[in-house]
Amino acid sequence: MNVAKPSRVRWFLVLWLFVLSAVSYLDRVNISIASGPIIDAYHLTNFQFGKISSAMLVGYGLFQTAGGRLADRFGPRRVLAAGVIWWGVFTALTASVPARIEGALVLFMAVRFFLGAGEAVIYPSASQFIARWVPVRERGIANGWIFAGVGAGAGLTPPFITYLMIHHGWRSSFWACSVIGFLAGGVWFLTARDTPSEHSRVSPAELEEIQSGLAITTDREPQALVSWSRIARSKEVWAITVSYFCYGYVAWIFFSWFFRYLATVRGLDLKASAFYSMLPFLAMLVCCLVGGSINDWLTRLRGPRLGRCGVAVFAILVAGIFLAFGSQVSSARLASVVLAGGAGALYLSQSSFWSVTADIGGASSGSVSGFMNTGNQIGAALTASLTPWIGDRFGWTASFLTAAALCVVAAACWLIVDPSRTLAPAQSALSTGAVALKKINRPNAGDETPASS
């Protein structure tokens, strides 16, 4: 008797979230690569340009929780598609600010603020997708693929934007990014569905495989959402939020200032800066996938406390060591490689943050991840303005040592996180997530009911 093989629709959609993640970072990092021409054309200072970068991150951070709640209520398909259209429009508008207009700085800040507001839905929507589509045992590598898009998008940005700037001017790069976003968002809307049961190409075998390992049910019945007060009382939520604040501060040194640091502080020319500024993002891409695989493997072998939390503690501490040493290396090219190692080590922990929010959040994973990611964006907005100030006042070594110190704080926060403490009531269908986590470590424990946190 022939048994039909299960379809692999969930992995196609995970890979398309990788594409959307790459596009979102292409649209964020493009302005840092074009910073030189923009600063010159509009007669801005580094500090003023930092305000433009911060404006995007403020908009992104302020709408995280709202974007997450929208994904929880209306599903990741429509919410994410609408967000891609929104941020595509404002990417194009970035290139439309007239060169000789009064108040250009304010216009840039407004456009980038609304760009950030549109992009705020991407990762909370992806988290809600993971909670609905991906079994607990596969969430590390699934999140690894999604956030590998960060490295792919940011890594491709320097050569892509540099090429367009040299041949067609800096404005053309923003128009090109906008078109790419519209195309990627259209494919997502046409191919994605909010739940596996709604997708015509999901085979019965794949549907059973998904549903047997989920933390939430995937039928059309509305799921109870966890209240904001319960989210705000969770020590796990606050611990990963503080950790992600520090993480965001460190990561956005690379997204906001690394290209300009290599060009103006280390003295590399435009092409060399474009090449070496790719290295941190390529390291992020590889380490996201490696970290996700290790995350799932250790979780199956030794439980989620080691698989989720242990990986995060180790990776973030190693990142801090790389940053501290890299900032003091005299060779510009060697420093670029060492600092890239720090960026890669940091992203080994990325899957831990988003797997834990899906594990403990269940049907409210969009809200929980949005709350956590707000902390990340506050840290990112802070570094966009504070890093050049520290660099100008105390030297760029001090900027990287500050980031290294925050890595220690970020790692320490994970010591109090327990991924099995779900936010949903134990009697709800959502509690099956905690059961699934226990099954990973003890396969015969399926009949146990976990205590409510």
Residue at 333 is within a domain: yes
The answer to whether residue 220 sits within a structural domain is no
Q: What is the pLDDT of residue 322?
A: 93
Query: Does residue 91 register a pLDDT over 80?
Result: yes
**Confidence (pLDDT) at 7:** 87
pLDDT of residue 425: 60
Whether 218 is covered by a domain: the verdict is: no
Cα atoms in the 13 Å half-sphere on the side-chain side of 355:
37
Rounded to a whole number of angstroms, the CA Rg of the chain reads 21
Instruction: For residue 24, tell me if it sits in a domain.
Output: yes
Average of per-residue pLDDT across 282-310: 91
- The total number of structural domains in the chain stands at 1
Judge contact between 154 and 274, C-beta under 8 A. Answer: no
**In the prediction, which pLDDT does 436 show?**
45
The span from the CA of 428 to the CA of 364, in Å, is 13
- Range 396-420 average pLDDT: 92
Q: How far is CA 295 from each of CA 109, 288, 382, rounded to the nearest angstrom?
A: 38, 10, 29
Q: Give the CATH number for residue 99.
A: 1.20.1250.20
Q: What is the pLDDT of residue 445?
A: 41
DSSP letter string over 66-101?
A: HHHHHHHHH-HHHHHHHHHHHHHHHHHHHTTS-TT-
Per-residue tokens: 156: 């491709």
- Using the structure block, give the residue that is written with the tokens 């190693």: 318
Q: What pLDDT is attached to residue 178? A: 93
Within 95-237, strands assigned E span: none
Lowest mean pLDDT across 185-199, 207-221, 255-269 = 207-221
Structure tokens at 221: 């019945």
453 inside domain: no
Asked whether residue 219 is domain-assigned, the answer is: no
The pLDDT of residue 112 is above 50: yes
User: b/e per residue, 140-162, with b = 16+ CB within 10 A?
Assistant: bbbbbbbbbbbbbbbbbbbebbb
pLDDT band at 327 (very low <50, low <70, confident <90, very high): confident
Q: What's the pLDDT score for residue 1?
A: 41
Distances from the Cα of 256 to the Cα of 232, 270, 399, 428, angstroms:
30, 16, 13, 43
pLDDT value for 383: 84
**pLDDT for residue 131 is more than 70:** yes
Q: For residues 368 and 434, what is the distance between their CA atoms, to the nearest angstrom?
A: 16
Average pLDDT over residues 114-129: 92
Q: What percent of the chain has pLDDT over 90?
A: 40
Q: Checking phi first, is residue 219 left (phi over 0); if not, alpha (psi -120 to 50) or beta?
A: beta
Q: What's the pLDDT at 442?
A: 45
Measure the CA–CA gap between 364 and 382, rounded to whole angstroms.
28
pLDDT grade for 20, boundaries at 50, 70 and 90:
very high
Q: Provide the residue type at 437 as one letter.
A: L
Looking at per-residue confidence, does 105 or 330 come out higher?
A: 105
76 Cβ contact partners less than 8 Å away, ≥ 6 residues apart: 125, 126, 128, 129, 132, 192, 194, 366
Instruction: Supply the range of the domain harboring residue 249.
Output: 12-212+225-441
Query: What mean pLDDT do residues 392-412 have?
Result: 91
Q: What is the 8-class DSSP label of residue 224?
A: P
Residue 81's pLDDT is: 95
| Tokens 């549907």, located at residue | 207
CA angle, corner 80, sides to 350 and 183, nearest 5?
105
pTM here is 0.75
99 or 218: whose pLDDT is higher?
99
For residue 433, being part of any structural domain is answered with yes
Predicted local distance difference test score (pLDDT) of residue 449: 33
- Over range 30-40, report the average pLDDT: 84
pLDDT of residue 122: 93
Start-to-end CA distance of the chain, whole Å, equals: 46
- Whether 309 and 448 have beta carbons less than 8 Å apart is answered as no
Is residue 275 a part of any domain in this protein? yes
Instruction: Compute the average pLDDT of residues 104-123.
Output: 92
Which pLDDT does position 223 carry in this prediction? Answer: 59
